[in-house]
Structure 1
Amino acid sequence: MKGAILLVEDDAAIATVVRAALEDEGFAVDCSDSIAGRDRLLRTRVYAAMLTDVVLADGDGIASLSAVQAAHPHLPIIVLSAQNTLDTAIRAADISAFEYFPKPFDLEELVRAVVQAVGARNVAADPQGEGTHGALPLVGRSHAMQGVYRMIARVLRNDLTVLILGESGTGKELVAEAIHQFGHRKTGPFVAVNAAAIPHDLIESELFGHERGAFTGAHAQAIGKFEQANGGTLFLDEIGDMPAAAQTRLLRTLQSGRIRRVGGRHEIAVDVRILAATNRDLAPMIAAGTFREDLFYRLNVVPIELPPLRERVDDIAALTHHFLEQAAADGLPRRRIDDAAIRALEQRPWRGNVRELRNAAYRLALMARKDAIDADTVHAVLGRPEPAGTAPEASFAQAVEAWLRAAAPPDGTLYGAATAALERPLFSRVLERTGGNQVQAARMLGINRNTLRKRLTELGIDPDGAAARR
């Protein structure tokens, strides 16, 4: 027996599945559906780890953990939650939870986390209390956003450099602001600079400052962004647009923790956390020699990739309500929106991502002729979306129909045959896109890396062969 696990979960179905998986792994599992039951069990047995839901019938599973941690300082705690928001991930980090799993979760991944937690029992907890985080800038509970929330929570208590990736309008600066606002540097300054918005001949002065007389027009000493951010966070947006000379100076600063103003003679020590972001694919830029490979590795310590809105359609309703409330706070008419209007919004392509949706919500608030926004209002104000036949979902449905007509499998085998028929070209194409990198492919697919590796073996797909077709 590997040890005893305490599972605090009021959903009987989830508790049954998790208990069976942990017992198969060799653990003894005790279950409770309440805080009171949890506390009784903790008094009767020593546990190697505890898994707890957040919302329980008799209280908040996280808020009630301070007493548990005081009495059991080396007990690893894994938080499970259907309250899939950034606030929940941060609260789990606040109580130094070993891991946080939003529901629904990957059962294999959960079991691995429990095994790791039991092996790391010597890591002492550092409870911080419940905390009050107020209104959060990131909205959405889709599966695609849960990985983002978890990564944000993991980098709050360290100074690791983070590279935030994503299309324009996905909210990269909001992620940077959240890391600063909820991290241990929150009392220091947050300074943002957009590399694409600064003329190339001025960017070094903007970042590092300059001395009087350093160049024509430098009539006085100027303090750069690094010095302005000292003790806090410097957010370098659109890092892919930074010119080569500035890349070299930035790399030197990241390596040494010191800067020299343009025209200056002395180096100045700076204590700054670096967050960077780009909407560009840096790999071909590195291959072309326009972006330094060594700088990329310095920046890409922890990558956080923001999904485009088309991959988190489930969040459109929550985002729209949020933006309509913002519009009312900004002086526009307060509007309600019905379900049909939400469905109309979900069918749009949103090439401008969350930023485009925000602008659309403000326009709807302004232009709607009645308090409740309906589908007709959406179409009248925003126009009709592209014909349904051009949407990826429609194309896929047509492909499935054609496949069924051409080779319908015998009864009882449809699901397996359809899954294999979908997975083979899907996995091959994704591996081509990632150059055979299975970690990136699993992230793009939204599945566990071990699951991907297993399916590739079962389907007879060679990752290296797929990459070679790129």
Structure 2
Amino acid sequence: MTDARTILVADDDRAIRTVLSQALARSGYQVRATSSASTLWRWVEDGEGDLVITDVVMPDENGLDLVPRIKRVRPDLRVVVMSAQSTFATAVKATQRGAFEYLPKPFDLKELLAVVERALAAPATAAVTTGEPETEKLPLVGRSQAMQEIYRTVARLTTTDLTVMITGESGTGKELISRALHDYGKRRSGPFVAINMAAIPRELIEAELFGHERGAFTGALNRGIGRFEQAAGGTLFLDEIGDMPPEAQTRLLRVLQEGEFTTVGGRQPIKANVRIVAATHRDLRQLIRQGLFREDLFYRLNVVPIRLPPLRERMEDIPLLARHFLDRAKAAGLPGKQLSSEALDALKAHSWPGNARELENLMRRLAALYPQEVIGADAVAAELAEAVQPAGPDGSAQPATLEQAVERHLQTFMAAHKDGLPVRDLYERVLAEVERPLLRLALGATRGNQIKAAAMLGLNRNTLRKKIRELELPVVRGLT
């Protein structure tokens, strides 16, 4: 095909060059492939190629350093960056240096071909961001697919002022994402101001956000500057937005619509020069259905949604996160520690209701309380067992939930048989151990009346009788 578009591929891995060349050729493209950045640069200078696909790490030059040089001499030539160093820092650097797209390795060939198609069809742009911030100290850690998608999304958003809504359970890192959007974005030279709606009395939220004039309310002896003014030129992070009272929601909607606000008790409009990033652990759509959150405000805030996955959905990131948190603990003055492979297995077996925050707290405890340099599974299991036992009304330790109590029991069991489980049918065994006390307590509460016990449990009476026989539970005669 003489009119086929030409793709320049640079990667020091021969297998990847072969796979890419074959896939692109099958899609109708001409391909020139090399293992050297210098050869790629020569092709670019000679005017060859309609698109560049380059790895980051190559023998003679870093592919990221090559991107701005390519954009300077050929602004319309799109560059797709690939990297096995699948970190947020790589995604941000690739975006800020002018790459069209960043793809972490291993990548899906269908996705890469879709990126190639988009890149070749995209309108021309010569914009290259300069003066990028240091990215090596970023707190965002993880190489799971879920985190890669977040890295790519946040990297794209650093070049915009779009409003962002971050959702996720407590402890998933919503404020870290908001800080990354600010620290590596267009407004990084301005202030980052955060306000937690759940931590401020409802009657004071409007004054906290928009400021107030002297005499606007009892106790307002002087003019107060609100968070919108404090964040001028920077980013305003509205944490726990789901807890914002209705009257404040109305005022915030007006600011987002009109781009200006007035202080409480004031009349002079003030221009709102901030980027808004909101976050919540609550289901805002459910709050809308309940009449507790304005639907129009939701759509104004939810311009770009980012969902942070709970830690249980990215268990493969636990070793990296644990190492990261141990390094931070060491930097804070605690002893340096390592985790055994069995300890890592114990961490992966935990459900992490407190998410990454819970993991960080655990790593700090292990670093502070255990003298051994290499922490084993027993120490991890002991600390996790303690963590899910808040004090009960009588001061005794109690499991926080049934799930956590069962998990603690299983962790102890697994740790005791880490060299191999001596039992089979563990699933059925666990179910039986939960069923037995449940049925025994239900029968006790109904004084042995199986009809009432079945109704309490939501079971058919015959089903209950069958389970009583299977589990060999005692029966009080005359009350069946």
TM-score by length of 2: 0.78
User: What is the rounded CA distance, in whole Å, between the counterparts of 1:339 and 1:270 in structure 2?
Assistant: 52
Equivalent residue number for residue 172 of structure 1: 174
Structure 2 contact 67–99 (Cα < 8 Å) conserved:
no
Unaligned runs of 5+ in 2: 386-406, 415-425, 429-480
Q: Deviations over 1:43-73 (max 9, x none)?
A: 5552111111111122211113333222222
Q: Deviations over 1:234-261 (max 9, x none)?
A: 0000111111111110000011111111
Among 218, 231, 236, which residue is 1:216 paired with? Answer: 218
Larger radius of gyration: 2
Change in Cα spacing, 1:247 to 1:129, as seen in structure 2 (3 Å) is closer
Unaligned runs of 5+ in 1: 392-396, 400-470
Instruction: Please report how far the alpha carbon of residue 315 of structure 1 lies from its aligned counterpart in structure 2 after TM superposition.
Output: 1.1
User: What is the rounded CA distance, in whole Å, between the counterparts of 1:134 and 1:364 in structure 2?
Assistant: 26
Instruction: Please report how far the alpha carbon of residue 390 of structure 1 lies from its aligned counterpart in structure 2 after TM superposition.
Output: 12
Any idea what SS the aligned residue of 2:238 has?
strand
Among 335, 338, 356, which residue is 2:337 paired with? Answer: 335
Change in Cα spacing, 1:388 to 1:360, as seen in structure 2 (3 Å) is closer
Equivalent residue number for residue 184 of structure 2: 182
Change in Cα spacing, 1:139 to 1:386, as seen in structure 2 (3 Å) is farther
Among 286, 306, 309, which residue is 1:307 paired with? Answer: 309
Instruction: Please report how far the alpha carbon of residue 274 of structure 1 lies from its aligned counterpart in structure 2 after TM superposition.
Output: 0.2
- Farther-moved stretch of structure 1 (57-66 vs 200-209): 57-66
User: What is the rounded CA distance, in whole Å, between the counterparts of 1:127 and 1:249 in structure 2?
Assistant: 35
TM-score by length of 1: 0.80
Counterpart mapping for 1:321-332 below 5 A = 321-332=323-334
Any idea what SS the aligned residue of 1:46 has?
coil
Instruction: Please report how far the alpha carbon of residue 292 of structure 1 lies from its aligned counterpart in structure 2 after TM superposition.
Output: 0.8
Q: Match for 1:387: what amino acid?
A: L
User: What is the rounded CA distance, in whole Å, between the counterparts of 1:126 and 1:296 in structure 2?
Assistant: 33
Any idea what SS the aligned residue of 2:203 has?
coil
Equivalent residue number for residue 9 of structure 1: 11
User: What is the rounded CA distance, in whole Å, between the counterparts of 1:186 and 1:386 in structure 2?
Assistant: 48
Any idea what SS the aligned residue of 2:93 has?
helix
Instruction: Please report how far the alpha carbon of residue 327 of structure 1 lies from its aligned counterpart in structure 2 after TM superposition.
Output: 1.4
User: What is the rounded CA distance, in whole Å, between the counterparts of 2:4 and 2:117 in structure 1?
Assistant: 9
User: Taking CA–CA contacts closer than 8 Å with sequence separation of 6 or more, which of the two structures ends up with the larger relative contact order?
Assistant: 1
Any idea what SS the aligned residue of 2:189 has?
coil
Counterpart mapping for 1:445-464 below 5 A = none
Change in Cα spacing, 1:71 to 1:117, as seen in structure 2 (3 Å) is same
Q: Percent identity?
A: 52
Structure 1 contact 53–81 (Cα < 8 Å) conserved:
yes
Instruction: Please report how far the alpha carbon of residue 389 of structure 1 lies from its aligned counterpart in structure 2 after TM superposition.
Output: 13
Structure 2 contact 43–49 (Cα < 8 Å) conserved:
no
Structure 1 contact 66–129 (Cα < 8 Å) conserved:
no
User: What is the rounded CA distance, in whole Å, between the counterparts of 1:132 and 1:332 in structure 2?
Assistant: 26
Equivalent residue number for residue 294 of structure 2: 292
Equivalent residue number for residue 199 of structure 1: 201
Change in Cα spacing, 1:49 to 1:125, as seen in structure 2 (3 Å) is farther
Change in Cα spacing, 1:117 to 1:258, as seen in structure 2 (3 Å) is same
Q: Deviations over 1:210-246 (max 9, x none)?
A: 1111111212211110000011000000111111111
Q: Deviations over 1:367-414 (max 9, x none)?
A: 1131221112212333274527999xxxxx979xxxxxxxxxxxxxxx
Equivalent residue number for residue 361 of structure 1: 363
Change in Cα spacing, 1:40 to 1:265, as seen in structure 2 (3 Å) is closer
Structure 2 contact 10–36 (Cα < 8 Å) conserved:
yes
Query: Residue 387 in 1 paired to residue 410 in 2?
Result: yes
Q: Match for 2:167: what amino acid?
A: L
